[in-house]
């Protein structure tokens, strides 16, 4: 009996992210993952995304200085007790039309039985900064 080949599979971006995650886990085991890695990844981003990632990083550091800065699947992330709480995803790296700010199940954003955990981000302005500030504040509890 012949077996069918799986169509599709992981995209090149997904494969690259998984490889980066494997490298991060090895570095974590050596105690070598941190803010320097995050800032290096931000530095690799296109100018417009670098601005967004930098502003988000500054906001998280201000609102939740107890979170640990690190990378997660090669993207900037912020963790508590080793568990990622929120992250920034590059649109260019993932070949999407916008960057994303996301929150994991560790974030305290629960509201009823349905709530958003991922937000498209295309510009940094006072309104977006205020919204993200409120979300990060709420997420950390």
Q: What is the structure's pLDDT at 25?
A: 64
Residue 29 pLDDT exceeds 60:
no
Structural class in CATH, domain 12-140: alpha beta
Tokens 């993952």 identify what position?
Answer: 33
The domain segmentation of the chain, as residue ranges, is 12-140
DSSP, res 6: P
Tell me the pLDDT band of 18, cut-offs 50, 70 and 90.
confident
Angle at 58 between CA 120 and CA 94, to 5 degrees: 35
CA distances from 105 to 84, 86, 93, 95, 102 (A): 9, 9, 24, 25, 10
Residue 6 pLDDT exceeds 60:
no
Tell me the pLDDT band of 13, cut-offs 50, 70 and 90.
confident
Tell me the pLDDT band of 31, cut-offs 50, 70 and 90.
low
Residue 10 pLDDT exceeds 90:
no
Q: What is the pTM of this model?
A: 0.80
Nearest to 84 by CA among 65, 68, 100: 68
Q: What is the structure's pLDDT at 27?
A: 64
Q: Please, which residues bridge with residue 121 across strands?
A: 99
Per residue in 54-85, pLDDT (tens digit) is: 999 999 999 999 999 999 988 999 999 989 99
Distance CA(125)–CA(141), nearest Å, equals 24
**What average pLDDT score do residues 125-136 get?**
98
Residue 3 pLDDT exceeds 80:
no
Q: What is the structure's pLDDT at 28?
A: 62
């Amino acid at each position: 009996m012949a077996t069918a080949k799986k169509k599709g599979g992981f995209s090149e971006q997904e494969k690259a992210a998984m490889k980066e995650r494997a490298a991060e886990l090895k570095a974590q085991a050596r105690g070598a993952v941190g803010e320097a890695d995050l800032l290096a990844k931000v530095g690799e981003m296109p100018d417009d995304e670098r601005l967004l990632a930098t502003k988000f990083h500054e906001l998280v550091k201000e609102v939740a200085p107890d979170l640990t800065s690190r990378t997660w699947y090669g993207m900037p992330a912020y963790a508590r007790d080793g568990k990622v709480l929120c992250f920034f995803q590059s649109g260019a790296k993932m070949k999407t039309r916008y960057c994303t700010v996301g929150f994991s199940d560790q974030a305290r954003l629960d509201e009823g039985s349905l709530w958003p955990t991922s937000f498209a981000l295309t510009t940094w302005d006072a309104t977006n900064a205020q919204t993200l500030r409120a979300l990060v504040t709420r997420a950390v509890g």
